[in-house]
Amino acid sequence: MRIVVVRETAPGERRVALVPESCKKLIQAGYEIAIESGAGDAAGFADGTYTGAGVSTVPDRASLLASGDIVLKVTAPADDETARMKPGAIYVGSLMPLRNLGAVRALAGRNVTAFATDAIPRTTRAQSMDTLSSMANLAGYKGVLLAAVELNRYFPMLTTAAGMVFPAKVFVIGAGVAGLQAIATARRLGANVVATDVRPEVKEQIESVGAKYVGIELQESAAAGGGYAKELSDADRKRQAELLAAECALSDVVITTALIGGVFAPRLIDAETVRTMKPGSVIVDLGADGGGNCELSRPGETTHVGGVTIIAPLNLPSTVPYHASLLFSRNLTAFLTAFTKDKAFHLDFSDDIQQGAVVTHGGEVRHARTRDALQKETL
């Protein structure tokens, strides 16, 4: 089977779906690989590193897509890319189907079997294939660095000849992969870290990476399974808002990482809470890709409101493209090799990983939540 990789064309996207290290493993597994010329340049992987790994480089994007039995991408394919895929091809990448309904519709119409690696079940067996977690880890790390650069004070406690400087207080909202990495990074920089999550079962995880846990006792569980959270009841939402407002007012840095079902960002910090924060404090809204956790966030922009800086970055993993590509590529390689038999990828929808990740197959949308969203669009 022939695997093809094209250069990412989304604005600001610098990652590449496969790196030479992974290409060698897939070629050993029996695949032929071709990549668009220059596809890895922005991530630090020149064409020569691919040819040295046994990969063909092809300048013609259209013919490359048309030749692929398996198409690997970082982001959802554009309509013109899908139109050039051959019917019956397999797409694997971070599709984010609920955010990209048009792409899903096009893939189904082209009879492409599409797997969304961001929808892979969060199980021990599937952990090495989970691009959502890999990229969230990078986002949590980079988000703290953005805050440290913008903050008008030190992160760590320092003893100097001019006296002692006390550590910054960082408040992390959400203790998924991004939140836990944000906590760990802020602690390594010397900050005093407090964190919260609507899932009380993550208290031990928060404390294990060096933060103090704060939270409310929920009247209804907020766990949605698979490491995800669901929306709170009205009563719990009100009590949580009071807790968040109190902690934000005390904090130098607030980092929000909350997503419902790993897709959409709940609104957690309102304008009034921002107005109570100290001048010079910083909010980093890592939920910006899902719409934003702060009412005053402008996704993709940095704004200043009453002395508070609000950073709402989009696609943070792309700002560290070398390692983002390396991890993403390893995830895709783990997925492909797990289902490779006799030098070919075998579809097996009885397998829980394929069943969870498949979005389109046989001209139909197989992913239940995406199918429901498409049906609502037509009403």
| Distance (Å, whole) CA 325 – CA 23 | 13
Q: Is 122 a catalytic residue?
A: yes
Burial 205-235 (b: 16+ CB within 10 A, else e): bbeebebebbbbebeeebeeeebbbeebeee
Selecting among 37, 56, 128, 228, the annotated active-site residue is 228
Q: Is 80 a catalytic residue?
A: no
Selecting among 127, 188, 237, 371, the annotated active-site residue is 127
Selecting among 2, 99, 105, 122, the annotated active-site residue is 122
Q: Is 111 exposed, middle or buried (0-12, 13-18, 19+ CB in 10 A)?
A: middle
| Distance (Å, whole) CA 37 – CA 58 | 5
Phi, psi of 222 (to 5 degrees): -105, 5
Q: Is 127 a catalytic residue?
A: yes
Phi, psi of 350 (to 5 degrees): -80, -15
Selecting among 133, 134, 205, 281, the annotated active-site residue is 133
| Distance (Å, whole) CA 49 – CA 164 | 50
Q: Is 322 a catalytic residue?
A: no
Selecting among 118, 130, 197, 289, the annotated active-site residue is 130
Phi-psi label, residue 190: left if phi above 0, alpha if psi -120 to 50, beta otherwise: left
Closest CA to 339 of 359, 365, 357: 357
DSSP 158-211: EEETTEEEPPPEEEEE--SHHHHHHHHHHHHTT-EEEEE-S-GGGHHHHHHTT-
Provide the 8-state DSSP code for 339: T
Q: Is 354 a catalytic residue?
A: no
> Which residues make beta-bridge pairs with 283?
254, 310
| Distance (Å, whole) CA 29 – CA 37 | 23
- Residues labelled catalytic: 122, 127, 130, 133, 228
